[in-house]
Amino acid sequence: MSASVFGRAAEPILIDVWSDVVCPFCYLGNAILKEAIEQHPHGSSVQVRYHSFQLNPGFPVGEAVLADDYLAQQYGMPKAQIEASHAQLSARGAQSGLDYQFPKSMMINTLDAHRMIHLAKAHDQEPAMVDRLFRAEFTDGLNLADHGVLADLAADLGLDRAEALKALETKAYEQDIRADLSRARELGISGVPFFVFDNKRAVSGAQPVELFRQALDVTWQDRAASPA
């Protein structure tokens, strides 16, 4: 499709994303969104902003258990059901270049992981940190409740490890995280991933890339039709 169809250039399209690092559908949805942006004629004019969400805020801080064990114990899910769900999601993820290793994934309280995303945002490394945390959770099987692990991941991106540890120890960015959670409640977000395009339209879940492309197209057309 010709770029001219989308009209004049505009301020960056803003996509606000609510997600949690222990959510496998968030990992997939994030990858699919990136595909849609890369395919869009004006993908360079899209800005993605990430917002904190906690699927399991009551999970004890600092603890970690295998996610499969947690699902079986907390929800009584049979092993066969868990494995079937994982197989389906792994196949979809592979199409987007993701390597899910579900037997290694951990259930944790993600509050501290979200602190690392906000720290990275302060250093213009937000998308890279989100990607790294997802990969650590679903491919590497790392314990994201461990402050040392989180600080190492920050250092992997070139951030200061000592600064990361201090942010964790002092519970930095608490107000920012709470603001994200409050905004999610205001919008009625009860599940993630949740994507809001230019504060006008929403996409919920890890939808096919065509749906994200359509949302981008319509959002850009809205921008092009507005007064210069």
CATH of the domain at 86: 3.40.30.10
Is residue 225 one of the residues assigned to a domain?
A: no
Is residue 226 one of the residues assigned to a domain?
A: no
Is residue 227 one of the residues assigned to a domain?
A: no
Residue 3, pLDDT score: 40
Number of domains in the chain: 1
Is residue 228 one of the residues assigned to a domain?
A: no
Report yes or no: 141 and 105 within 8 Å, Cβ to Cβ.
Answer: yes
Per-residue pLDDT of the chain (228 residues; tens, 9 = 90+): 334 344 444 589 999 999 999 999 999 999 999 999 999 999 999 999 999 999 999 999 999 999 999 999 999 999 999 999 999 999 999 999 999 999 999 999 999 999 999 999 999 999 999 999 999 999 999 999 999 999 999 999 999 999 999 999 999 999 999 999 999 999 999 999 999 999 999 999 999 999 999 999 999 998 878 765
pTM of the model: 0.93
> How remote is the C-alpha of 135 from its chain's centroid?
11
Is residue 224 one of the residues assigned to a domain?
A: no
Is residue 164 one of the residues assigned to a domain?
A: yes
Of 209, 226, 166, 183, the residue nearest 32 (C-alpha): 209
Is residue 92 one of the residues assigned to a domain?
A: yes
Residue 225, pLDDT score: 80
Is residue 115 one of the residues assigned to a domain?
A: yes
Burial of 54 (0-12, 13-18, 19+ CB in 10 A): buried
- Ramachandran angles phi, psi of 202, nearest 5°: -125, 150
Domain region containing 101: 3-218
Give the separation between CA 90 and CA 177, rounded to whole angstroms.
30
The 3-state secondary structure of the chain reads CCHHHHCCCCCCEEEEEEECCCCHHHHHHHHHHHHHHHHCCCHHHEEEEEEECCCCCCCCCCCCEEHHHHHHHHHCCCHHHHHHHHHHHHHHHHHCCCCCCHHHCEECCCHHHHHHHHHHHHCCCHHHHHHHHHHHHHHHCCCCCCHHHHHHHHHHCCCCHHHHHHHHHCCCCHHHHHHHHHHHHHCCCCCCCEEEECCCEEEECCCCHHHHHHHHHHHHHHHHHCCC
